[in-house]
Structure 1
Amino acid sequence: MDKCNAELVVKSNRDAMPKKNRHIDLSDQKLPGLLLRLAIPSVIGLSINASQQALNAIFVGSLGAQAIAAVSMTMPLIVLPAAVGEGIGVGTASFISRHLGAGNALEASRGASTALALAAPIGVIMTIALLVTLRSIFVALRASQTILPIALDYATILLLGSTLMLLNIVSGFIVRAEGNTRFSMWTMLSAFILNAVLDPIFIFLLSWGVRGAAIATLISQAAAMSLYIVYFTKWPGTVLVGISQVSLRVDRIRQLAFIGAPATMTSILSALGGMFLYGAAAPFGDEFIAAVGIAVRILTIGALPIIGFCIGSQAVLGFGWGARDFTRVLKVAKIMLSVTVALSLVYSAAVMVFVRPLVGLFSDNKGVTDIAVSTCIAFHLFFGLYGIQSFATTMLQSLGRARLSAVVSFARQGYLFIPSVLLLPFVLGFSGVLVSQAIAELGAGFIGLVVMFRQFAELRRRDRRRYTRSEKHL
């Protein structure tokens, strides 16, 4: 939209902030429609992300069990910089939505700009640290001599673009937090299409193998970041991003870090859990690593749309909390819970029914397929509870409840999963690997359920007190 159509919101002793009506009004009272307008582009965007990962795995899987095993062992390492990006993004999105709800667009802009300014050097430092220790990490994970060189090639190229990936993640959270989830969706879709076109060219036509898959991903990340740069510089919205808005005040950075820390730690634990998972499968052979990798990809395909719905709806929760409208927060929370639980239950049932053809998309090796089928069933046995855990984590992040958010989010890939996957394979063999994921999924779901009921009760108490005070003033 042209600048002449923008409204200026002027506050005393504050800069003028452009506000664009092409962004969704977070104060809209028609909640189901508002949530759908915000969440559907986010769901589509993260579903595209899952499809991109699946597409890479399908192309790489045609190169053999060793190739898909190598790529699978690499993914937890790539998750580490993404974890930092997600943590910064979650903290920033919560910061933005709460300040927009309170009517302070200037502070929201400062938080967004500061987050991006911090993300770039953090990404560079992490990239250097991972590249220096890369071989040692794969050796510690017990990568076989057939897998090691392939994994090193793939990981080295992908890590060179990890700073871009980190900045993409943070930029996506900023855009969605100000209500423009569609742009984020189109950016992800563009990156996916580019990746899908380049994969077969680089992998097969140019005979670059897994290196080609990594280069295709790297180019698509660069393209996505280019689109975000254009968005921030040419089409500034309610939240302005620029060097002039960067403010390295300690209290502001603390707010961003405090809310985002649980999300970062959750993703780091997920990366560590993935390393331990593949490390536990490694003694049983390359086929077992490949099978676990396929099961994890299929699990991710189901998880990302649920996360997408929560991310898309998070701005409405945070906006309502910032406005102290607890009735609105409760209504939004109930809608989110219903949708996330329905999605997780339907996906879990679908995987159980169609598990063999799903696995067959990734590998035509009978040994890998048979192992992957049983692994998928075990991994999705209690996936129906994932919707509860994901919703509870998002709600707590939106309300600024960092500690409780950590309790819920650390369970699934942290304090429930890691001890299990380290101990049970020694007792139960490969079945111990499968049982570990089932225990973590079940336990995390129940923890999320308990915390969720407590938060609902607290929101009702706050709403009653607010209503009582309003009556007294009449």
Structure 2
Amino acid sequence: METEGVTNLLGDPKKAILKISTPLIVAMLIQTLYNLVDTIWVAGLGDSALAAVGVFFPFFFILMAVSNGVGVGASSAISRRIGQNNREKASVIAEQSIILSFVIGILVMVTIPFLKAMFIGLGFEEDVANLAYDYGSIMIIGSVILFFTNMGSAILRGEGNTKKPMYAIVVGSIINIILDPIFIYVLGWGIKGAAIATVISMLITALLFAYWIFISKNNYVNMKFSKDRIIPEYSVYTEIFKVGIPASLAQISMSLSMFAMNYIIAIVGGTAGIAIYSTGWRIVSLGVIPLHAIAAGVVAVAGAAYGACNPEKIEEAYKYAIKFAVVCETVVAVVILLLTPQIAYLFTYSEGSAHLYDGIVSFMKYMFLFYPVVPLGMLTSAMFQGINKARYSLILTIFRAIVMQLVAAYIFAFVLGYGLEGIWMGIIAGNGISVIIMYLIGIRVINKLKNTLTKKNVEF
């Protein structure tokens, strides 16, 4: 059985990148829009509430890193099996992935009693720590839903189907946008209302994925959940974790970098500095949304080409994706720069957050130089994940996020004495140097595959 997604996946790599990434760009833009709307509504509660969301964001980022990493591992494994024309194995991987997502989601919930102590231990003010706990504990309760949703999306992406994930994410995001002001202000639940609205929207999205995966049969993978299939198959977990663990650790390293960056910023700019960074980084997250979508396409197309032992197709997809992404991000950078005053006002409209306006404007102007170079690093990581070399992605991401960015931020802020703006300079300089190095290594790995990749030595 060859679905439309699989046909795209195995066809022209340029067309495959476009057809896979375009629906995801729409979905992720809508999803990030609701994140921004969420922040805008929370901003009306004052800078402590805004800082509290920023304090919890690295923790939530870790949850997303684990969820997305395991999802990438499953998606990559499924794509490689499609390239190998092995539908049975692809289906087994999908089933084991769903079971795994529920197990991890349940385990994550045991962290709730320790959240507040961690926030206070990191040196945040008590009122901010209390608000961060109110928000974060509810979000973690929804972790089972989060993990299942991301895994369902990963399975469909692995077989080249991104339209269904787009529909599910758009529906959930719109519901969240509607519920936010009702729960936060009308019902008077404050920051807890923002978290409850998010969990409810995730539940709606999860129900859609459950229907498509368990009830609808119009998929390449065949979900049976027979007795012999629900028994843990450790070879499948090994294949998923070989990509998934490095992918998760790579994202977690970025979260750890944010923790450290928050610490540096707190020294220089206090609570206001953290609020500026967390708010500004949400805007950056919106700007790089197309990259996440294109990266998902690169994982799937590179994975299928690797399974089919076609390194030339890997190279074509990789280089085309980077060119496409650089153009997209250059346009994004210009648009955000032109709209900087208006965007900054959305997060500083209340009396309690108005004093953050100039700082957010300054941050966004510096980040203009960040967007166009990010594709070199992000899509190189995606290519490595597709071809079962996620450990390369992990090492290079740690080098970029923890070593280069933090060291550069420290040098510009303290050694050169530029203060808070020096941190923004360091982020740009550290990222720029490291992504160029990542791209050169990516090209070298592909050239090596051209000489060595055969059906005998392909790794699953």
Q: Same fold (TM over 0.5)?
A: yes
Aligned mate of 1:401, from 389, 405, 415 = 389
| Aligned-residue offset at 1:435 | 3.3
Establish whether residue 138 from structure 1 lines up as the match of residue 119 from structure 2.
yes
**Residue in 1 aligned with 2:305?**
320
Counterpart of 1:371, as a letter, is G
| Aligned-residue offset at 1:424 | 6.0
**Residue in 2 aligned with 1:210?**
191
Q: Secondary structure at the match of 2:7?
A: coil
**Residue in 2 aligned with 1:255?**
239
The answer (yes or no) to whether the contact 1:113–1:243 under 8 Å persists in 2 is yes
**Residue in 1 aligned with 2:146?**
165
The answer (yes or no) to whether the contact 2:311–2:446 under 8 Å persists in 1 is no
Aligned mate of 2:88, from 101, 106, 110 = 106
Counterpart of 2:448, as a letter, is E
Counterparts of 1:391-430 in structure 2, within 5 Å, are 391-420=379-408, 425-427=413-415, 428=417, 429-430=419-420
| Aligned-residue offset at 1:226 | 1.1
The answer (yes or no) to whether the contact 1:295–1:379 under 8 Å persists in 2 is no
TM (normalized to structure 1)?
A: 0.88
Establish whether residue 275 from structure 1 lines up as the match of residue 259 from structure 2.
yes
| Aligned-residue offset at 1:422 | 6.4
Q: Distance in 1 between matches of 2:92 and 2:340?
A: 47
Structure 2 CA distance for partners of 1:166 and 1:459, relative to 1, 3 Å: same
Instruction: Deviation per CA, 1:195-233: give whole Å up to 9, x if none.
Output: 011111111111111111100001011111111111111
Say how many residue pairs are matched: 446
The answer (yes or no) to whether the contact 1:72–1:293 under 8 Å persists in 2 is yes
| Aligned-residue offset at 1:114 | 1.2
**Residue in 1 aligned with 2:161?**
180
Aligned mate of 2:372, from 373, 379, 384 = 384
Counterpart of 1:83, as a letter, is A
The answer (yes or no) to whether the contact 1:259–1:397 under 8 Å persists in 2 is yes
The answer (yes or no) to whether the contact 2:119–2:129 under 8 Å persists in 1 is yes
**Residue in 1 aligned with 2:345?**
360
**Residue in 1 aligned with 2:63?**
81
Instruction: Deviation per CA, 1:21-64: give whole Å up to 9, x if none.
Output: 35441455444333322111111122222112111111111222
Establish whether residue 42 from structure 1 lines up as the match of residue 24 from structure 2.
yes
Establish whether residue 311 from structure 1 lines up as the match of residue 299 from structure 2.
no
**Residue in 2 aligned with 1:297?**
282
| Aligned-residue offset at 1:457 | 2.4
**Residue in 2 aligned with 1:340?**
325
TM (normalized to structure 2)?
A: 0.91
Instruction: Deviation per CA, 1:160-194: give whole Å up to 9, x if none.
Output: 11221122112111111112110000000010011
Q: Secondary structure at the match of 1:243?
A: coil
Q: Distance in 1 between matches of 2:438 and 2:207?
A: 38
Q: Distance in 1 between matches of 2:345 and 2:8?
A: 43
Counterparts of 1:107-122 in structure 2, within 5 Å, are 107-122=89-104
Counterpart of 1:253, as a letter, is Y
Instruction: Deviation per CA, 1:102-137: give whole Å up to 9, x if none.
Output: 0111111111211221222222222212x1221122
Structure 2 CA distance for partners of 1:253 and 1:227, relative to 1, 3 Å: same
Q: Distance in 1 between matches of 2:370 and 2:204?
A: 37
| Aligned-residue offset at 1:157 | 1.0
The answer (yes or no) to whether the contact 1:82–1:162 under 8 Å persists in 2 is no
Q: Distance in 2 between matches of 1:88 and 1:110?
A: 15
Counterpart of 1:256, as a letter, is I
Q: Distance in 2 between matches of 1:25 and 1:434?
A: 44
Gaps of 5+ in 2: 456-460
**Residue in 1 aligned with 2:315?**
330
Structure 2 CA distance for partners of 1:384 and 1:210, relative to 1, 3 Å: same
Aligned mate of 2:249, from 265, 287, 291 = 265
**Residue in 1 aligned with 2:271?**
286
**Residue in 2 aligned with 1:232?**
213
The answer (yes or no) to whether the contact 2:298–2:318 under 8 Å persists in 1 is no
Counterpart of 2:442, as a letter, is M
| Aligned-residue offset at 1:250 | 2.6
Q: Distance in 1 between matches of 2:422 and 2:118?
A: 23
The answer (yes or no) to whether the contact 1:348–1:384 under 8 Å persists in 2 is yes
Tell me the C-alpha RMSD between the 2 structures: 2.2
Q: Secondary structure at the match of 1:146?
A: helix
Q: Secondary structure at the match of 1:265?
A: helix
Instruction: Deviation per CA, 1:58-115: give whole Å up to 9, x if none.
Output: 1111222222111111111111221111111111111000001101111111112112
Q: Distance in 1 between matches of 2:66 and 2:373?
A: 26
Structure 2 CA distance for partners of 1:167 and 1:77, relative to 1, 3 Å: same
Question: More deviation in 250-259 or 138-147?
Answer: 138-147
Question: More deviation in 105-114 or 285-294?
Answer: 285-294
Q: Secondary structure at the match of 1:412?
A: helix
Establish whether residue 440 from structure 1 lines up as the match of residue 422 from structure 2.
no
Q: Secondary structure at the match of 2:123?
A: coil
Gaps of 5+ in 1: 1-18, 467-474
| Aligned-residue offset at 1:317 | 1.8
| Aligned-residue offset at 1:20 | 5.6
Q: Distance in 2 between matches of 1:92 and 1:84?
A: 12
Counterpart of 2:336, as a letter, is V
Question: More deviation in 72-81 or 21-30?
Answer: 21-30
Question: More deviation in 240-249 or 76-85?
Answer: 240-249
The answer (yes or no) to whether the contact 1:94–1:398 under 8 Å persists in 2 is yes
The answer (yes or no) to whether the contact 1:411–1:443 under 8 Å persists in 2 is no
Counterpart of 1:436, as a letter, is G
Q: Distance in 1 between matches of 2:230 and 2:425?
A: 47
Q: Distance in 1 between matches of 2:333 and 2:308?
A: 37
**Residue in 1 aligned with 2:202?**
221
| Aligned-residue offset at 1:341 | 1.6
Q: Secondary structure at the match of 2:126?
A: coil
The answer (yes or no) to whether the contact 2:405–2:426 under 8 Å persists in 1 is yes
Question: More deviation in 144-153 or 245-254?
Answer: 245-254
The answer (yes or no) to whether the contact 2:8–2:15 under 8 Å persists in 1 is no
Q: Secondary structure at the match of 1:315?
A: helix
| Aligned-residue offset at 1:302 | 1.3
**Residue in 1 aligned with 2:51?**
69
The answer (yes or no) to whether the contact 1:378–1:435 under 8 Å persists in 2 is yes
The answer (yes or no) to whether the contact 1:90–1:173 under 8 Å persists in 2 is yes
Question: More deviation in 306-315 or 200-209?
Answer: 306-315
Counterpart of 1:208, as a letter, is W
Structure 2 CA distance for partners of 1:27 and 1:387, relative to 1, 3 Å: closer
